[in-house]
């Protein structure tokens, strides 16, 4: 008879393998626009983020992250050009990993989060080309509204693995100028780059 310590690993692996096999399959997701369920969706604040990147004194690419987006998306795959999106991103979630800079960003020196607590995007038109779209709209930061275009790509659509209800997700890229949003946000231009790149990931859940 083989000693117990010799057979335990095999038994454990068999048990783990059985548990894995027994797990239900994750719902199928697709990047096919036709798989998007028509309706109104709410932004998932836990899975929607904006990464911003700008060049600092010609030396480094500095980055920061905002999260906690709320808002709505109305979409119909049979009439994608009629899609509408309205999103608010709380400024107090902004993190650069530099504590002193984060304090300055929240203060009246930059964003003045106490007076202007959110950045707001409201779409005005959507031009669709397969899985991609140009989402034109107005971005309001620190009380100033400017036109912005987001180059968006459909990542996935289907029934969410947790809720089993329709979910859709996108990634997007946009470019803005700090100086467009006032002298405070345009501080130190051109020593610190005026242009800021926004990399966006957004998940929307149908209620």
pLDDT at 2: 52
Whether 26 has a pLDDT exceeding 60, the answer reads no
Whether 1 has a pLDDT exceeding 70, the answer reads no
Name residues whose C-beta falls within 8 Å of residue 99's C-beta, 6 or more positions apart in sequence. none
Q: Where do the domains of the chain lie? A: 27-206
Other CB atoms within a 10 A radius of the CB of residue 82 amount to: 11
Query: pLDDT tens for residues 133-155?
Result: 999 999 999 999 999 999 999 99
Exposure letters 21-55 (e unless 16+ CB within 10 A, then b): eeeeeeeebeeebebbbeeebebbbeebbbebebb
Distance, CA of 97 to CA of 115 (rounded, Å): 23
Name residues whose C-beta falls within 8 Å of residue 12's C-beta, 6 or more positions apart in sequence. none
Other CB atoms within a 10 A radius of the CB of residue 126 amount to: 19
Other CB atoms within a 10 A radius of the CB of residue 169 amount to: 21
Other CB atoms within a 10 A radius of the CB of residue 115 amount to: 9
Residues 27-206: name the CATH superfamily.
Answer: Lipid/polyisoprenoid-binding, YceI-like (2.40.128.110)
Query: pLDDT tens for residues 55-106?
Result: 999 899 999 999 999 999 999 999 999 999 999 999 999 999 999 999 999 9
Model-level pTM?
0.85
pLDDT at 163: 84
């Amino acid at each position: 008879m083989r000693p117990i310590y010799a057979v335990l690993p095999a038994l454990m692996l068999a048990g783990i393998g059985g548990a894995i096999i027994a797990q239900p399959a994750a719902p199928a997701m697709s990047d096919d626009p036709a798989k998007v369920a028509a309706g109104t969706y709410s932004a998932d604040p836990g899975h929607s983020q904006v990464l911003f990147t700008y060049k600092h004194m010609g030396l480094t690419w500095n980055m920061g992250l905002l999260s906690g987006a709320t808002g709505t998306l109305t979409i119909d795959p049979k009439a994608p050009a009629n899609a509408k999106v309205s999103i608010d991103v709380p400024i107090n979630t902004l993190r650069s990993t530099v504590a002193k800079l984060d304090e300055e960003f929240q203060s009246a020196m930059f964003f003045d989060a106490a007076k202007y607590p959110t950045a707001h995007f409201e779409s005005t038109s959507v031009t669709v080309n397969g899985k991609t779209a140009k989402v034109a709209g107005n971005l309001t930061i620190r009380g100033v509204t400017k036109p912005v275009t987001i180059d968006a790509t459909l990542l996935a659509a289907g029934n969410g693995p947790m809720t089993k209800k329709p979910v859709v997700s996108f990634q997007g890229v946009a470019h803005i100028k700090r100086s467009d949003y006032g002298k405070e946000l345009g501080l130190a231009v051109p020593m610190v780059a005026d242009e800021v790149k926004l990399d966006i990931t957004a998940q929307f859940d149908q209620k």
